[in-house]
Amino acid sequence: MDILKSLGHPEEIFNLFKFKMGGCRAVMPKLDYESMSETLRTCYVYLNQTSRSFAAVIQALDGELRHAVCIFYLVLRALDTVEDDMTIPLDKKVPMLNDFHTYLYQDEWCFNESHEKDRQVLEDFPTISLEFRNLAQEYREVISDICHRMGVGMAEYLEKKVGSMNDWDQYCHYVAGLVGIGLSRLFSASQLEDPEVGRDTELANSMGLFLQKTNIIRDYLEDTQEGRVFWPKEAWSQFAARVEDFAQPENLESALSCLNLLVTDALRHVPDVIAYLSRLRNQSVFNFCAIPQVMAIATLSTCYNNPMVFQGVVKIRKGQAVTLMMDATNMRAVQTIVAQYSQEILHKVSLTDPTRDKTLNILALIQEKSTLSQSSLPSRTHLSPMYLSAAMLLAALSWQYLSTTAAQVQGTGDMQGQ
């Protein structure tokens, strides 16, 4: 049971109770669905059905930005559903991906032949495209442009393998970096953030790449079992003849070496993440951006040098996820979290790991950018004896209650990149 994993972290147990009692309403407020049109309400239904990760933080955004980001997400979810559907022949799929942005302006376009789990966003695309056309022009221009560029990139990688590390960057740019760029432009278009946030595409791209690479690293086993390979050949070919060989117990040492190489590569985006978040001024936008990023670095810390990556799906604890969600609401707290997890990774670096020097260098840079020295880091697990005792007593007395609570926050632990 996942709740057992939190017993050594009393603050997580306390936060699970707090979450259950509505303690996150300031971060995740409820929407007024009665004031929405029927089609817009339907879009939010689809948002909650198709996103385990971003539905809550999207719905917490301020003003009209909330609707723009909701529609942006659903448009890209529909595009991604086309890409993922292996039953669509390439001669049909490639034109669909390239032309998908044009469907936004076609009242009745839909696709009823998908077998993917999120196919409802294609079958009822007229509802989504209608709400897209109801958005202000500055939002429509951003969404259409990103949809076009992403569709072209997805079509390119339908047959192209992720070979070099540069290919990995390019693929992640198409499927996630463009999302970061598009979101940043929406933030600026809403005037909730400065124009520079939308103009700096390099930092915005890094935000997306960090989340996407974390997902790819974590999902090794699921992807390889389904015949998908997103780990770059330039990395895995240094350690194995086939990327699938890492799942064999006798190849564990090589597997961990490749894993740590990729985690190190993902970590090089963290200084950009810190720089990006430090520019944000609107609280709802900050929460929206910061929460998935701290979930990602917590996930990388869990994955680093962890054999379980090759045996199952590695996830952070639900209590850990709720705690991160509640804490990551200001820059100081984010810096503390980043410094904490970079320290955790540092303690796992082996003397014999082939990427050791690179890992140490990027961790040192992250520590510098987080502007927190090790000696000044506040302890995130320090609790007074009274608080500690009370929390442990609550755990002992509330076993079944916490199990129910954990079930109700199912999916929160996947708050990155989905």
Task: Tell me how long the chain is.
Answer: 418
Q: How is residue 405 written in tokens?
A: 């609570």
Contact 211, 176 (CB under 8 A): yes
Contacts 24+ apart (CB under 8 A), 250-258: 252/307, 252/310, 255/307, 255/309, 255/310, 256/305, 256/307, 256/353, 257/353, 257/354, 257/355, 258/231
Q: Which amino acid is at 254?
A: S
Helix (H, G, I), strand (E, B) or coil at 30: coil
Q: How many helices (H) and strands (E) does the chain have?
A: 22, 0
Contact 326, 293 (CB under 8 A): no
Asked if 111 is an active-site residue, the reply is no
Contact 63, 192 (CB under 8 A): yes
Asked if 279 is an active-site residue, the reply is no
Q: How many angstroms separate the CA atoms of 122 and 362, rounded?
A: 42
Q: How is residue 324 written in tokens?
A: 């991160």
Which of the following is catalytic: 25, 133, 199, 228? 228
Q: Give the burial string for 152-174 (b: 16+ CB within 10 Å, else e).
A: bbbbebeeeebeeeebbbbbbbb
Which of the following is catalytic: 14, 72, 103, 171? 171
Count CB-CB contacts under 10 A for residue 250. Answer: 8
CA atoms within 13 A on the CB side of 109: 14
Q: How is residue 295 written in tokens?
A: 């979930």
Asked if 228 is an active-site residue, the reply is yes
Which of the following is catalytic: 77, 185, 218, 317? 218
Asked if 288 is an active-site residue, the reply is yes
Q: How is residue 64 written in tokens?
A: 């009209």
Q: How many angstroms separate the CA atoms of 143 and 252, rounded?
A: 43
Listing DSSP states for 55-91 in one string gives HHHHHTS-HHHHHHHHHHHHHHHHHHHHHH-TTS-HH
Look at residues 292, 304, 290 and name the one whose alpha carbon lies nearest to residue 362.
Answer: 304
Look at residues 59, 88, 90 and name the one whose alpha carbon lies nearest to residue 73.
Answer: 59
Which of the following is catalytic: 14, 111, 288, 304? 288
Q: Which residues are catalytic?
A: 171, 218, 228, 288
